[in-house]
Structure 1
């Protein structure tokens, strides 16, 4: 639990999540099916030096940008997801999951487009914990067709008319191409909060409101190794200047976060809580979802970052792709009083 001045700062944020239900967020990004196959293994194959997994069960969860949308909805925000889905088994599964979660989806598709899918095989012995043995990825290779990219740009422009904030989840699957980025930059220029989490092409989002790299992504963006806190500060200011955004939120794992603003300020936010992370899968999705929803609810960048820091600390206590509910977030904030 937080103590002292940090405790007072967190308890002062309780009013923000109470207004989340009235806010509308537009999610733009790569909609991924996280498929889990669970099994049991007790022997090695005679065909090759590999373990044989006897299938027990399987499930599909909202992953990638779809998990960001799921986190906004779990926090009680209203959310519309714009992306690409194939006319295939995983595309149908994601549509059903969106519907069950109360998420509106405007997905473009075309013949030959596959739904981005990450299949994880987890197995263990009779009395052991299942471990991930293998991950198989499938989906679009190369850029999306020009007609589809233009369709996505039109869908973003239309959906943004009813949004209080936009969150971008770019996993490199091609949804957030040049056409969509042009719309996003224009929206940011008109005052719409546009928060971007891009794994590979952050430099192409210059001009949006907020960018959220982790430390390795910041190193790639700036070409600077981050060995010390001084290195981090220099790289953060350099990245903010290069991107021309209003704020830069750097996630640092067990070291917390660093928030840089356009006035030259930097806020080093320590990690919340003392528990060790159980699973960091999708933690960045929870952070960017909470941050964007908080901005939509009127939070400052600093307030939004602290709420996101608390939400991130809660989701890493859960196994696999997960979300944090508004009630969980409020309970943690009340405990900080």
Structure 2
């Protein structure tokens, strides 16, 4: 992979703008040793807790780990989790340009992981908190203005939509203008990909492609038909479909498709946040002037590395370079 191995060396000179849902991944760890008398549930004895950058903030963290520069635009509350995300962004070297409000609750996913003595902690429960519905009109307009301002010195834009209400019509209009002016705008949307037409690259996984196509995707032929149809519907330059153990499929506007096999033979340990690593690597490669095919292949390698790590994780530039060297 000689051409791919050159790409990460250019990452430090490139800047990515992250636009989307900034999520606090809150982990509570404990020990279980008995069942409650109050209900048929395990009692968890608290041991420790930590907060990690999640959602769009994890995409930004992946860009930084790959040595790229990054600024993040989103919405944060003035609550404890909002303060913690600000601290973690500063610690990670992420330039944070978030709008804030007292009535906004920071998007938070609290996971309780527990187990017996000397056993691996496993997730027992997840509790989600955050903004319900769209942000107030004033805040949506402020976000759109901030995206426009922050894009002035960016080489590529990543849109990370986890359904927390940040990406309204005002922001999408700005993103379409940026894409029309030649800025690479890559979007990863969990629930509303169809609303992001007119951008550069859209990245669904196979279940999201099914939802977009409105029909099951059971075979490779189904996937190819759905991919071509989705690309036309979204009016984007390319569609990158992540396919788990089957690798990726890259569709282009000329009707071409590039089937990229999964990198490596190791089984995944944890797929949490893998899509964040893929879209961060892909966008940073485009910012470094890579072709769509090379950007997808590099993202495929990065994705294979991050699924070997437990929980929300990143892949560093050195890890990526080492893997590329060993794969020659």
Tell me which interval the TM-score lies in, with the shorter structure as reference length. Answer: over 0.9
Name the counterpart of 2:320.
329
Name the counterpart of 1:115.
106
Query: C-alpha distance in 1, partners of 2:133/2:214?
Result: 25
Using the TM superposition, give the Cα deviation of residue 301 of structure 1 relative to its aligned residue in structure 2, in angstroms: 0.5
Question: Which residue among 67, 82, 89 is the counterpart of 1:76?
Answer: 67
SS of alignment partner, residue 101 of structure 2: coil
Q: Does 1:196 align with 2:177?
A: no
SS of alignment partner, residue 226 of structure 1: coil
SS of alignment partner, residue 207 of structure 1: coil
Question: Which residue among 22, 25, 36 is the counterpart of 1:31?
Answer: 22
Name the counterpart of 2:238.
247
Name the counterpart of 1:226.
217
Question: Which residue among 141, 144, 147 is the counterpart of 2:138?
Answer: 147
Query: C-alpha distance in 1, partners of 2:239/2:3?
Result: 23
Farther-moved stretch of structure 1 (219-228 vs 270-279):
219-228
Name the counterpart of 1:5.
none
Cα-to-partner distance string for 1:241-273 (whole Å, 9 max, x where unaligned): 000000000000111000000010001101000
Name the counterpart of 1:67.
58
Query: C-alpha distance in 1, partners of 2:68/2:167?
Result: 23
Name the counterpart of 1:237.
228
Name the counterpart of 1:175.
166
Using the TM superposition, give the Cα deviation of residue 12 of structure 1 relative to its aligned residue in structure 2, in angstroms: 2.3
Farther-moved stretch of structure 1 (301-310 vs 222-231):
222-231
Name the counterpart of 2:253.
262
Name the counterpart of 2:78.
87
Query: C-alpha distance in 1, partners of 2:291/2:115?
Result: 46
Name the counterpart of 1:16.
7
- 4+ residue segments displaced more than 6 Å: none
SS of alignment partner, residue 98 of structure 2: strand
Q: Is the 8 A contact 1:165 1:193 kept in 2?
A: yes
Q: Note the aligned Cα RMSD (angstroms).
A: 0.5
Name the counterpart of 1:41.
32
Query: C-alpha distance in 1, partners of 2:57/2:2?
Result: 30
Query: C-alpha distance in 2, partners of 1:220/1:115?
Result: 28
Name the counterpart of 2:266.
275
Q: Is the 8 A contact 1:84 1:175 kept in 2?
A: yes
Cα-to-partner distance string for 1:2-60 (whole Å, 9 max, x where unaligned): xxxxxxxx232111000000000000000000000000000001111100000010000
Using the TM superposition, give the Cα deviation of residue 224 of structure 1 relative to its aligned residue in structure 2, in angstroms: 2.0
Query: C-alpha distance in 1, partners of 2:8/2:207?
Result: 30
TM-score between both structures, scaled by the size of structure 1: 0.97
Q: Is the 8 A contact 1:11 1:336 kept in 2?
A: no
SS of alignment partner, residue 161 of structure 1: helix
Query: C-alpha distance in 2, partners of 1:96/1:243?
Result: 37
Name the counterpart of 2:120.
129
Query: C-alpha distance in 1, partners of 2:196/2:3?
Result: 33
TM-score between both structures, scaled by the size of structure 2: 0.99
Query: C-alpha distance in 1, partners of 2:77/2:2?
Result: 44
SS of alignment partner, residue 127 of structure 2: strand
